[in-house]
Structure 1
Amino acid sequence: MQRKEISQETVNLLVDIIKETIGEGGLKSITKRLEGRDLKGRELVYAFAEEVMNIYGQKGSYALIRQLGRDLANMFL
């Protein structure tokens, strides 16, 4: 099975939706934790999700990711 990479355009779209959900301050605190790490595509998404879990806990991060999915679905409808 061929492994596909997540495009930068997709990452930017997700970041914009996350900014609307948790606010610019919340996004900055997460991205500050990821600074200096050379992450791209899939690794960036997983590291971002891990930092969200570290900050908001298991239930909070699940709620944020669920809301992200809802917002993303609404954009495509």
Structure 2
Amino acid sequence: MQKAVIQLETLACPSCMQKIENAVKGLNGVNQDSVKVLFNASKVKLNFNAEDIAITDIENAIENLGYEVKGSKVRSA
């Protein structure tokens, strides 16, 4: 299991948070219970299984919603 922190562009509204959270939770390989969108910090924290999904796939899912990903940090859980 890997831990990831994804830095996003500044989030404008709480509904943005919900959209991102739902999209990331729906990805195969992401631990649904670990997904947290930090509104004030514009970050997404999550745990994922690197054998099932790559961090770039998670970033792409967020960017496909229209939110810019500034960068990610991944480390072993």
| TM-score, length of structure 2 as denominator length | 0.44
Determine which structure has the larger helix proportion and give its number: 1
